[in-house]
A and B are shown apart, each in its own frame.
Chain A
């Protein structure tokens, strides 16, 4: 237990060392030179702005405006991609039929459909969710397809010899075997969703963290802008830590880590 504790400290300490010293150096250097710029802000000012945003709840409001379309987009686009991906992974005929369509649609940058979604939905959460859904659909579809297609044929032979029905082969063999890689796909997809959400908010949709960042920039408040950027970094980091932890909990014991 105590060994684990020191391992934890020695792991975390060097990681914090660099950003914290960078902040201290920036603060002292900027105070010493008295530099004035619309693109810079004192770390202490940024921290104060962040505290203000937390205190009046604005940062949470903006976060909800960004997270809600991400949730809707990932749930719809991701689920659809997952289902079609499973289907294409199981059926070579379906995969052959679909590949050209996929290769034609997939390269379209999600932000390129902003004008289309504005025509259909106007501005607001639905428009943003639609773009995120489009962005999430393709990686989820392709990665799920590959995950299912690469399930060891031996497992399907076992299933056939045991007399499992096709439905049971999918539910009890194919899906659990592909699950770890599908989960990795989900992590990747959530990262993409965050990028697309903020991009959409900066470019077109006056809501959420992206719009807060560009508003702060345009109103010459670099401290507020940096505060929102810091908040985004923290959000992204928490998301990744949470998902990594969940991944280990779900698949750790069966991924061969528990051997010997």
Chain B
């Protein structure tokens, strides 16, 4: 494949370490449609990478390829140097539609515990770990409520806690805050930045919100649609911890916003 694929050295790249996520000439067809074509990029361990792009550019498909729920038609997807051969407990995924991803017949605590039942922890140990996780995502005291009794933001927190319970090395997030109101979204953005930093997980975060991508990411991958290809990669050189007001007012933030916006405009 001769297409000039864009490879950018990861920000935190160390010599000789395998990238946490590597796409190598990946192509994916779903039925007649070519969803992704000739996609190559690397993401370094511990990096927070955001993916933006118009609808139909294969953002969600990208995550499913990393998770192993889908396999590419050509090329290779690797995690820490190993070819992806299916789902792994090292990889957790936060789905956008928390309403479908939580078990409605289990309480918040029960939903989180599901991740621990898979590895056969004792009931007592599960209770302790679940309690700590509930506290971590700001849901202390809500453990015995059912998803239907929780707000959208709280349900998404439950799903995040369940993913953290896996102690994943890679965290995939598929427009996790897309369905939430602006205030809840900002609060969760700050929390996810903190939680990811604490866990040290490599994060691939899909969003349609350009500001969100710049605010959260170390790098932002812009995709173009039909078929999904890498259009551009921008490095986000904004200091951490970031602040909803200060960061968003910095000239660099505005400049990156401008660059990305132009890009998405062109892609349409």
Contact surface of A with B, Cβ cutoff 8 Å: 152, 154-155, 157-158, 160-165, 168, 172-173, 176-177, 179, 251, 253-259
Contact B118 A254 (CB under 8 A): no
Q: Flag the segment in B11-19, B25-33, B47-55, B96-104 that touches A.
A: B96-104
CB distance from A129 to the nearest CB of B (A): 33
Q: With the chains together, A258 CA to B144 CA distance in Å?
A: 13
Q: Which residues of A contact B88 (CB under 8 A)?
A: 163
Number of A-B residue pairs, CB cutoff 8 Å, is 63
CB distance from B84 to the nearest CB of A (A): 13
CB distance from B122 to the nearest CB of A (A): 16
Contact B103 A173 (CB under 8 A): yes
B97, B118, B119, B148: the one contacting A154 at CB < 8 Å is B97
Q: Is the interface of A mostly helix, strand, loop or mixed?
A: helix
Q: Which residues of B contact A155 (CB under 8 A)?
A: 100-101, 103
Q: Which residues of B contact A152 (CB under 8 A)?
A: 100
One digit per residue, 1 when the CB lies within 8 angstroms of any chain A CB and 0 when it does not, for chain B 71-97 equals 000000000000000011101110101
Also in contact, A258 and B149, with CB within 8 A (given A157-B69, A160-B69, A163-B89)? yes
In the complex, residue of chain A having the shortest beta-carbon distance to the beta carbon of B107: A254
Q: With the chains together, A134 CA to B146 CA distance in Å?
A: 39
Also in contact, A161 and B117, with CB within 8 A (given A155-B101, A256-B104)? no
In the complex, residue of chain A having the shortest beta-carbon distance to the beta carbon of B93: A161
Beyond known contacts A162-B115, A164-B114: 9 more, CB 8 A cutoff: A154-B95, A158-B95, A161-B67, A162-B114, A177-B103, A254-B146, A256-B148, A257-B148, A258-B149
In the complex, residue of chain B having the shortest beta-carbon distance to the beta carbon of A169: B118
B87, B100, B148: the one contacting A161 at CB < 8 Å is B87
State whether the Cβ of B166 lies closer than 8 Å to any Cβ in chain A.
yes
A163, A172, A258: the one contacting B87 at CB < 8 Å is A163
Q: With the chains together, A254 CA to B117 CA distance in Å?
A: 21
A154, A161, A255: the one contacting B92 at CB < 8 Å is A161
Q: Which residues of A contact B115 (CB under 8 A)?
A: 162
CB distance from B124 to the nearest CB of A (A): 19
Q: With the chains together, A177 CA to B97 CA distance in Å?
A: 17
Q: With the chains together, A257 CA to B89 CA distance in Å?
A: 34
CB distance from A78 to the nearest CB of B (A): 22
Q: Which residues of A contact B149 (CB under 8 A)?
A: 258-259
CB distance from A171 to the nearest CB of B (A): 10
In the complex, residue of chain A having the shortest beta-carbon distance to the beta carbon of B111: A158
CB distance from A254 to the nearest CB of B (A): 4
Q: With the chains together, A234 CA to B97 CA distance in Å?
A: 46
Also in contact, A258 and B119, with CB within 8 A (given A158-B101, A161-B91, A163-B87)? no
Chain A to chain B: the 10 pairs with minimum beta-carbon distance, closest first: A163-B89, A254-B105, A154-B100, A259-B148, A160-B87, A163-B118, A256-B148, A164-B118, A162-B118, A162-B115
CB distance from B121 to the nearest CB of A (A): 13
Q: With the chains together, A164 CA to B91 CA distance in Å?
A: 13
Contact A254 B148 (CB under 8 A): yes
Residues from 121 to 165 in B contacting A, C-beta threshold 8 Å: 146, 148-149, 162
B91, B146, B162, B166: the one contacting A258 at CB < 8 Å is B146
Residues from 163 to 214 in B contacting A, C-beta threshold 8 Å: 166
Q: With the chains together, A165 CA to B88 CA distance in Å?
A: 12
Of the listed residues B67, B118, B166, the one surrounded by the most CB atoms of chain A closer than 10 A to its CB is B118
In the complex, residue of chain A having the shortest beta-carbon distance to the beta carbon of B105: A254
CB distance from B129 to the nearest CB of A (A): 14
CB distance from B79 to the nearest CB of A (A): 13
